[in-house]
Amino acid sequence: MRLTPLSESVTRTAAPDTWERLSALARSHREIFRQQTGSDQEFQLFLVALYSETETLPFEPGALTLVSRGVRHRPVEIRGLTPGWAQQRVGGRETQMAVYAFPPQVDLEGELAVEYQDVRSRGWDRALPEIQAERNRIRARSGE
């Protein structure tokens, strides 16, 4: 399972073509989620990719939670991107993808843990310093 925050502050640090693709995905889904929920909240959007190397595995989309500032957040909305997402199975050597909307209280600048069933990942703790370093390099190049 891989989560990619679709926040501009994160995607801006990616290569230009990746940034454009992720920004377009975020813009379109932000509007879709606003319409679906009837809310003008600025949800934290994440691209979620599930992959299985060898066997077909079931998954529960709603079982994914984020822990931010000690608070567990469930997804507000989920929208599958790949045709097989609705089957809630990922086959061997197959990737299933969706965009998740989480409450705006999810803080991408602090500790963030991903929980799915009995697994808790704190990979964001390793990724955030790299993102912050890239932000600094971008600012240095632009003369800020």
Closest to 60 (Cα-Cα) out of 3, 126, 117:
117
Contact criterion met (CB below 8 Å) for 7 and 45: yes
Domain of residue 55 covers 2-142
* Averaged pLDDT, 86-92: 93
Q: How far is CA 87 from CA 99, 101, 107, 116, 140, in A?
A: 16, 20, 31, 18, 46
* Averaged pLDDT, 61-79: 96
- Residue 118 pLDDT > 80: yes
SS3 116: strand
pLDDT of residue 123: 84
- Residue 32 pLDDT > 70: yes
pLDDT of residue 134: 86
Tell me the whole-structure pTM to 2 decimals. Answer: 0.89
Q: Number of structural domains, the chain? A: 1
* Averaged pLDDT, 89-116: 94
- Residue 43 pLDDT > 80: yes
Give the separation between CA 31 and CA 93, rounded to whole angstroms.
Answer: 32
Predicted confidence band of residue 144 (pLDDT cuts 50, 70, 90)? low
Q: How far is CA 116 from CA 98, 129, 132, in A?
A: 15, 24, 26
Predicted confidence band of residue 129 (pLDDT cuts 50, 70, 90)? confident
